[in-house]
Amino acid sequence: MNNFRRLVFTWLIIISCISEMIHAQSVDSIFNKFTKRYHTFQSTTFPYYIFVPAAYDPQIQYALVLCLHGAGEVGDNPSAVKKNSMATVWAKNSNQTRWPCFIVVPQCPANGWWTTSNIILTVNDILDSLLNEFSVDTNRMYITGLSMGGYATWDLIVRFPNKFAAAVPMSGGGDVSKVMLIKHIPIWDFHGAQDGTVPVKNSRDMMTAFENTGTTVVYTNCHHGDCTGLPDSVIADTLKNGARHIYTEYQNGGHAIWDIAYNNIFLLPWVFSQSKTNTSGIKREIFNSPPKEINLSQNYPNPFNPSTTIKYQLPTKSSVRLEVFNILGQRVATLVNAEQQAGNYQVPFDAKMLSSGMYFYRIAVGTNVKSRKMMLIQ
């Protein structure tokens, strides 16, 4: 029996190690899609990492997410992207399929602090330079940050109150006297009630300051010690109805609550539903009831040259495979091969490496298979 227990224990360790290796490989594969650059503004220089959407088309405007790390990631190394979910969550294939966007991750110099004037202004200049280089939808620029980056998130939206469509600070704090400048910005703030590094009072005071201006704040989990919280169905309805100021305080959370926070099932849909105008094409359908059946729409445009978009709907969480074939039945591209939640999806397809002609795209969801044809004209 002792030998059996030792064998089981050994296998558990092996399985745990394999799981960690798979996770590390996943993070590495995402990190490899970021490009490292350096930027100088008024004699201040530091690195930043940028993720460009797959099949980037300059004729299409894309959202942009600015990510500001904490004090533990300063310097000139990959930790700004790789250490936690702050940057990688937006770059996951499943999320990029649904919400293709640029991701920008500056790295604060060693011994520096984000809110130092020359550093925070350099961050802003990075964004302005990217607006000149890429096709970015200025109505859909978002900012998030954790710990030191949480403070910087509050600081940047005060300095540039018309720049961002939404903000997601975590484990930070802001200036309660400045909330009138930013009450028009949708904000989802996260903090741990047991935070021993940055007092949770910082976030509570910011939410109270918003309420004092007549702004409604939705408390999803804890409200000044009352952690009864809201059921997911109520949160979904609240977000669907346009909630703009939200506070999530984790009752047993310490300082590092960001991995669970960034993977909140409602966060990314809420962020990408925000826009500075009502004409950006972002719809609130992501909070609606799931579709009743699998639907594969006709690609648009069609005929196309060389890029097009394929849309589909899933009624339930499913394993999805979306592929493209030529007229000989040979697979020329795999666009999706992942498990996805119920909802509406759109996938860009860049065919610049293919020759003109008729192609077929097919979605397989379990045993259900649907296909359509499209015409490429080079």
CATH (domain of 323)? 2.60.40.1930
* 26 found inside a domain: no
CA nearest 347: which of 146, 69, 97, 130?
Answer: 97
Q: For residue 11, what are its two tokens?
A: 């296998």
What is the mean pLDDT of the segment spanning 68-82? Answer: 94
**pLDDT reported for residue 224:** 84
Among 202-211, 260-269, 297-306, 340-349, where is mean pLDDT lowest?
A: 340-349
Domain end point (choices 261, 284, 307):
284
Distance separating alpha carbons of residues 255 and 105, to the nearest angstrom: 21
pLDDT in tens, 207-248: 999 999 999 999 999 998 888 888 888 888 898 888 999 999
Percentage with pLDDT > 70 across the chain:
89
What was the pLDDT predicted at 12?
Answer: 43
Q: How confident is the model at residue 272 (pLDDT cuts 50, 70, 90)?
A: very high
Among the residue ranges 9-23, 83-97, 233-247, 288-302, the one predicted with the least confidence is 9-23
Residue 15: pLDDT band (50, 70, 90) is very low
Q: Is the model's pLDDT at 279 over the cut of 70? A: no
Choosing from 254, 284, 314, the residue where a domain stops is: 284
Question: Do 327 and 274 reside in the same domain of the chain?
Answer: no
Report field, pTM of the whole predicted structure over 0.85:
no
User: pLDDT value at position 3?
Assistant: 56
Start-to-end C-alpha separation, the chain: 69
Q: Three-state DSSP class for 311?
A: strand
pLDDT computed for residue 20 by the predictor:
42
Pick from 222, 249, 284: which residue ends a domain? 284
Please indicate, yes or no, if residue 6 is contained in any of the structural domains. no
23 found inside a domain: no
- Is there a domain that residue 1 lies in? no
Average pLDDT over residues 317-344: 89
Residue 251 forms part of a structural domain: yes
C-alpha distances in angstroms, 304 versus 322, 323, 334, 343, 363? 18, 17, 18, 26, 20
Q: Which domain holds residue 329?
A: 295-376
Q: Kindly state whether residue 367 falls inside one of the protein's structural domains.
A: yes
* Residues 30 and 68: beta-carbon distance below 8 Å: no
**What's the structural domain count of the chain?**
2
Q: Is 74 helix (H, G, I), strand (E, B) or coil?
A: coil
Buried b (16+ CB within 10 A) or exposed e, 77-90: ebebbbbbbbbbbb
pLDDT of 311 reads: 85
Tell me what the mean pLDDT of segment 120-138 comes to.
95
Tell whether 133 and 255 lie within a shared domain: yes
Give, as one character, the DSSP assignment of residue 148. H
171 and 242 co-located in one domain:
yes
pLDDT of residue 347: 86
pLDDT at 290: 56
Residues 57 and 190 in one domain: yes
Q: What pLDDT sits at residue 14?
A: 47
Q: Which CATH number goes with the domain that contains 252?
A: 3.40.50.1820
What is the rounded distance in angstroms from the CA atom of residue 290 to the CA atom of residue 292? 6
254 and 315 in a single domain? The answer is no
Average pLDDT over all residues of the chain:
87
Can you state the angle between helices 117-133 and 148-159, rounded to 10 degrees? 70
Examine the domain organization and report whether 268 and 300 are in the same domain.
no
Specify if 21 maps to a domain: no
Q: Is residue 259 located within the same domain as residue 319? A: no
Determine the pLDDT at residue 19: 41
